[in-house]
Structure 1
Amino acid sequence: MSTQTITREVEDAQATPVEKVRLLVPEIAARAEAADANDEFVAVNYAALKQAGLARAGVPAALGGGDADIRQLSAMLQEIARHCGSTALAFAMHTHQVAIPAWRWRHQKVTAVEPLLKRVASDGIILLSSGGSDWVGGAGWAARVEGGYRITARKVFTSGSPIGDMLMTTALIKPDGDSPPETIIHFPVSMKAAEVKVLDNWRTLGMRGTGSNDVIIEGLFVPDSAVALSRKAGEWHPLFQVIATIAIPLIYSVYLGVAESARDIALDLARRKQPNSDTVALAGRMETALRAAQLAHRWMLDVIDRNAPSADTVNEVMIGRNLVAENAIAAVTLAMEVAGGAGFYRSNGLERRFRDIQGARYHPLQPGPQSRFAGATALGLPTAGIY
């Protein structure tokens, strides 16, 4: 069956996002190995998801979207990741950029996000974020000029960059002299602007097909009217509490899916020969680590259900983030041992999962800041500057 036929059937189906994905996974899985081997962006897989209407899945129905909630989006990403981690992670970066304004529209009655969500629904635009440059501390410079700012920046880890339409990004307002920056501005950037250049420099251990290239912005004019938010530099803002609470559980759905698929592959390989007592014990440890990751991720989703982002929800989500990362990595490492030598062959798909799962180490909050944030919370100390 052709990709066009499959995606048309998915589009016509009255189904949840994860049910739609399950119709696409044979095609997605078939392309995963080549994208990984050749450092190629998973463009065809991404296009298939978009054609199936999944790029607008998180947009509220009243604004033209699929009306999927966070749990449905999480299940969607987790299922994609079972078959291609790169496709899932790249798609997660668009998905969370849709889920955040959708949550604000539903729960905070923020109408300013409506034009963006309608464009996602009607025009099919793909949103990008730069996880390596646009965290709480920000990156890049905004020089004040008449009517707005001139932006100079290098945005790293911009997943999906070859296919993106709009980068949701930030820059520090350039201070006078040697003074530290005081303000960060948030604004969208058209990826088609002449001042924007996507490098071809994503050569990595794992998640090789995400197209997470550096994006260079040189001299782009951003008018005052395009600045969505100005916030104090160097500390958390309420919007970032929303971002962290919602985005991180969606991103870590991907790593959980990778770990689950590694477990399945390992057990299949182990069953092909008579498991000895050591293999049985390793399988038990793998199951235990995977269950810990699953429980931690479920907790993260439960925190989102509170619908009250705050420093407390950031703390709880980031505890979950580190528990998912630690145990998902452990489960995949054990999967390599359960599989034995067969797991070392690329053709079995396990070594790709082992490489892909390493990406779980690098999203915020990494273990150092997360431990300090949790400790400060427990002791009743300030957390505004811990990120």
Structure 2
Amino acid sequence: MKPILASQMTEATPVGSELLETARRLSGIFAERASAFDEGDRFVSENYAVLKEAGLVAAAVPSELGGVGAEIGELCDMLRILAHGCSSTALAFAMHTHQVAIPAWRWRHQKVAAVEPLLKRVAAENLILLSSGGSDWIAGSGSAEKVEGGYRINARKVFTSGAEAGDILMTGAIHRAEDGSEAVIHFGASMKAPEVKVVETWRALGMRGTGSNDVAIEGLFVPDSAVGFSRTARRWHPVFQIIATIAFPLIYAVYVGVAESARDIAIGLAKKKPINAHAVELAGRMDTALRGAQMAHRSMVEAAERNEPGAESVNDVMIGRSLVARHGLEAVELAMELAGGAGFYRTNGLERRFRDMQGARFHPLQSGPQAQYAGAMALGQPVDEIF
């Protein structure tokens, strides 16, 4: 498998076409392994080795900094296609991809020079960046004790997808000042540091190969110079508006891919039986639901492509996120019904997609906070503390 290198690109070679052709090839490879990872609760480490070899680790790094230079729509298509082969690989890799795409966006659109060394390292060293899911959402988690020259960090970060393969955990912790105020400091923690350990906790309904284990941080020293930024805990910050606008189209591209592959499996199984009016109706309802998920996801991408992160883009992306989840879940449920008893067998792969799709329920903003956020926006109310 030849890697995609920025130096090999020409003006006549669109980044998207090369990237997606590579994703299709890898998806076929990953499909052959997916059930083994799922049944054994094993992290997809072999697939990460292939992703590195193919050059996709640097897909979101700007070409000027040694990467592929893919834009968000192309990255979404890459992840959606990978999900057809292995949902877990695609979702875990989406967490790395968005952690690269966010500083890449800031470098490209806000001229933030401070992120350049990290982006260059990702491209040159094939670094894997980790995200700790809900632990590092708006509220923050863990403690950051102020000590001479920096902070002493203690934290337990859950849902750290790809933890086993990670090089740097992009995370944060809460510093409580003497006056009672709380600020979240953000930093990168080396996964090779002795104070940082992976705790195997990931035994889940679906997405079993993501290796979304806990990461325990015990007494890690973070110097003042390594703090990327600081923000008020439990309130939206402009950087988190960027994060939400860019990350969630990438993450939910995976769930669109899961629903698409479930649909394809169900159609294949249904065609092996006599087709009656009920099957025709189920197929029509399934494709309608799937189209709803695809259209909702497209709206998420369009919100990100405006390159104007703020409360409005967060609202647009999160409305799309809820609609992708709702319609995607409906599509896989109908796929199970259309397939009939055959869909219940593991060997056909449909029940795994059904389980993997359930993960779409749990990423922020979940249905309650998302509705509150959208309602507050509609009524002109503050959204700073809705998450």
TM-score in terms of structure 1 length = 0.96
Q: For residue 37 of structure 1, what is the aligned residue in structure 2? A: 39
Deviation sequence 1:288-332 (CA, Å, 0-9, x none): 110000000000011111110000000000000000001001100
Give the Å deviation of 1:8.
2.6
Alignment of 1:1-387 (within 5 A): 7-8=1-2, 15-176=17-178, 181-387=181-387
Which consecutive unaligned segments of at least 5 residues does structure 2 have? none
The Cα of 1:9 is off from its aligned counterpart by 6.6
**Shift of residue 208 of structure 1?**
0.1
Q: What per-residue deviation string (whole Å, max 9, x for no partner) do you get for residues 314-352 of structure 1?
A: 000000000000100110011000000000000000000
C-alpha distance in 2, partners of 1:70/1:156? 26
Note if contact 2:294-2:324 (Cα within 8 Å) is conserved in structure 1.
Answer: yes
SS of 2:384's equivalent? coil
CA distance in 2: counterparts of 1:224 and 1:359, whole angstroms: 36
What is the deviation of 1:73?
A: 0.5
Contact 1:89/1:254 (8 A) holds in 2: yes
| Identical aligned residues as a percent | 64
Q: Structure 1's 54 and 9: CA in aligned 2 closer, same or farther, altered over 3 A?
A: closer
Shift of 1:10: 6.2
The answer on whether the counterparts of 2:4 and 2:68 sit within 8 Å (CA) in structure 1 is: no
8 Å CA contact 1:260, 1:290 repeated in 2: yes
Q: Secondary structure at the match of 1:128?
A: strand
Whether contact under 8 Å (2:154, 2:219) holds in the other structure is yes
SS at structure 2 position matched to 1:16: helix
Q: Provide Cα deviations, 1:5-47, integer angstroms capped at 9, x if missing partner.
A: xx23766796522111112222211110000000000001111
Structure 1 position 174, deviation (Å):
3.0
RMSD: 1.2
Q: 1:237-274: per-residue Cα shift (whole Å, max 9, x none)? A: 00000000000010000000000000000000000111
CA contact (8 A) 2:188 2:226 kept: yes
Which one-letter code corresponds to 1:288 in the other structure? T
- Residue 181 of structure 1 deviates from its aligned partner by 4.4
Confirm or deny: 8 A CA contact 1:206 1:352 kept in the other structure: yes
C-alpha contact (below 8 Å) 2:134/2:364 kept by paired residues: no
**2: CA distance, partners of 1:207 / 1:128:** 16
Q: Distance in 2 between matches of 1:322 and 1:204?
A: 22
Q: Which moved more, 1:280-289 or 1:203-212?
A: 280-289
Q: Secondary structure at the match of 1:132?
A: helix
The 1:10/1:305 distance shift into structure 2, 3 A limit, reads closer
Aligned to 1:4: none
In structure 2, how many angstroms separate the alpha carbons of the residues matched to 1:44 and 1:251? 21
- Whether the 8 Å CA contact 1:172–1:181 is kept in 2: the answer is no
**Equivalent residue of 1:235, what SS?**
coil
Partner Cα distance (2:223, 2:331) in 1: 48
